[in-house]
Chain A
Amino acid sequence: MNEVILDIQNLETNFVTKKGIVRAVDGVDLQVRRGETLGLVGESGCGKTVLGLSIMGLVDSPGRITGGKILFKGEDLVSKSSEEMRQLRGDRISMIFQDPTVTLNPVLRVSQQLEEVFRYHRGMKGKEARQKSLELLSLVGIPQPEERIDRYPFEFSGGMQQRVVIAIAVALNPELLLADEPTTALDVTVQAQIIKVLKDLKQQKDSAIILITHDMGVVAELCETVAVTYAGNIIEQGDLETILERPSHPYTVGLIQSIPKMEEHGKARLTAIPGTLADPTEIPPGCKFHPRCSRAEEVCKKTRPVLREVSPGHKVACHLD
């Protein structure tokens, strides 16, 4: 097993709103090892992105990290100054965003945006930065990079833009790469290409990747381990096979049943998880999932379950077995 490079301990990120305090990340524990690709899955609004931004140190007011630790190779990111975090971002930790059409600055040439990374972190100039940028574009599969590098983002297709975004993110071989729904905004064929790019990158570099997504298909393609989030908590974690084949938390079970399956076309109706995600300002007592859980018992309404190891490497936060 590789060393643990990211160790999140009891992390809490709150947003103060008029309706009350939103606990977007509510005591998350998570470990990522070098070279590992972890899928962070859950439905919209369950705190996946905020967790990502917390690691990056990019939670904006009114949000704030109110507790816990983010140990990156032993250093606590929460206690770092904003200047120290700035130097870390893009260099040792990087992030890919959801919609490439808005992630690139529309008025700057692609070359300027690529070279930015080398300039700010490595002090490279002119030709050197340009050479590196060209290499990057080839790496992410953009043909004829010399032709394209001086264009504006709007002259690229969505898939090409996402390749550029990925190129920028991996430019300096970050030890940790966060990908926040990198394929959601793209159409299916382009999704497959982008997944391919990420897969190739995984083989060439040994960055740890946290893939934030709600698409189980993408997770199955790319990840070795999976963490399932619900309302700001991690409720189940384990390796890919365990989570897909033998999920034990009722929410994970529901999540996997709600994926359409080819072999049952037309015969079986999709199973949806009843209800919606709890109002983040009115989190139910006990297990946060119990109002939607078909197997909820008396204990679920009173005590909040903690993440415990049920078999080696497989952790579940549920009172039931």
Chain B
Amino acid sequence: MDSLQVTNSAGDSASAGVARPKKRASLSRDYFAELRGSKKGMTGALILAFMVLVAITAPVIAPHDASSQSVYAQYAPPLFAGGTMDHILGADNLGRDILSRTIYGTQISLSIAFIVIFIAVSVGAVLGAIAGYVGGIVDTVIMRIADFQLSFPFILLALVFMAILGPGYWSLVIALTVAIWANYARLVRGEALKIRELEFVQAAKAIGVSRARIIWGHILPNALPALIVLGTLDIAWVIITEAALSFLGLGIQPPTPSWGVMLNDARGYLYESAWMTIFPGIALFMTCIGVNLLGDWLRDTFDPKMAKL
């Protein structure tokens, strides 16, 4: 019964940790508890959750069709400036409901942001991990492409894509993805260079784990916190840039209700009908603030060393 003795002596040191009889709380639940304790993080998360909810339920909550015009409602002021319940936030130069258009604009902004970040993070992270872990010529090729990418003026790049593919939702997604994947590749490459020297990678090699599995199963999970932080903060960049490109006519095309398109439409009526500018502007501002607050909190939580930067 030798092994029993071993068992007991080891059990003493660790038995305190086994007191909880039920299945232990998952890490994600721990993070959620921490999020609730942070004003900054919670505010950001609530704003973003609200925006996502608005985007999903847009067809239900929008009082009007986003592009239905009405001669009678042209330049209708919002409720608080003497308007009617029919157009709570007023109407634009073509009599389209501002509230409905802003609500549908949320769909465009958020869907583009999430799709772009998802593709850019996935592609960038995998390429960066391969570059950092494999090294040599593979590293050189991938990182020179990334450098080339980062040195290319973004507006010019967007113009090129619009010229080739024609302006529209998916061309915008492609242009934005191409514009930022290299950030993640660089980030993850740096992490991979650091992680591959750690003992557990050597230990994984020592049990015969293949290179692909080490990259996928050991390097990427360890680079994930940094990726989540950067990816979240970049959502705001994508939303603003999408609006800017759409404002310039390089992105979403009228009459699709992107916030950028709405702002462009409102340009000529800033003095007479300021509500055309104000409401999409507020929506844009709030979304980005929400994302940034959440991103800041994530950075503080995942990487306290970066908090002071």
> Is A219 in the interface zone, CB < 8 Å from B?
no
Given known pairs A105-B218, A142-B10, the reply for A200 and B209 (CB within 8 Å) is no
Q: Pick the contact of B205: A89, A105, A159, A197 (CB < 8 A).
A: A89
CA distance A163 to B200 in the complex (A): 15
Hey, which bits of chain A sit against chain B, CB under 8 A? 56, 58, 86-91, 94-95, 97, 99, 102-108, 112, 116-117, 120-121, 139, 141-144, 147-148, 150-152, 155-157, 159-160, 163, 165, 168-169, 171, 193, 196-197, 200
> Is B203 in the interface zone, CB < 8 Å from A?
yes
> Is B57 in the interface zone, CB < 8 Å from A?
no
The winner among B204, B206, B224 for most chain A CB atoms within 10 A is B206
Q: How far is the CB of B125 from chain A (nearest CB, A)?
A: 14
CA distance A156 to B150 in the complex (A): 43
Would A97 and B6 count as touching, CB distance under 8 A?
no
- Category for how many chain B residues contact A: 20 to 34
Q: How far is the CB of A77 from chain B (nearest CB, A)?
A: 13
> Is B9 in the interface zone, CB < 8 Å from A?
yes
* Neighbouring A residues of B206 by C-beta, 8 Å: 56, 58, 89-90, 94-95, 97, 169
The winner among B2, B209, B221, B222 for most chain A CB atoms within 10 A is B209
> Is B202 in the interface zone, CB < 8 Å from A?
yes
* Neighbouring A residues of B17 by C-beta, 8 Å: 155
Would A108 and B221 count as touching, CB distance under 8 A?
yes
> Top 9 A-B pairs ranked by shortest CB distance?
A90-B207, A90-B208, A141-B6, A89-B208, A102-B199, A95-B206, A143-B11, A105-B200, A103-B203
Would B208 and A144 count as touching, CB distance under 8 A?
no
Given known pairs A102-B199, A141-B10, the reply for A107 and B207 (CB within 8 Å) is no
* Neighbouring A residues of B208 by C-beta, 8 Å: 86-91, 117, 120-121
* Neighbouring A residues of B207 by C-beta, 8 Å: 89-90, 94, 116-117, 120, 168-169, 171
CA distance A196 to B4 in the complex (A): 11
CA distance A205 to B235 in the complex (A): 55
Known A-B contacts: A87-B208, A155-B17. Give 11 more (CB < 8 A): A58-B205, A97-B199, A103-B203, A121-B208, A139-B3, A141-B10, A142-B7, A143-B15, A157-B13, A159-B10, A193-B9
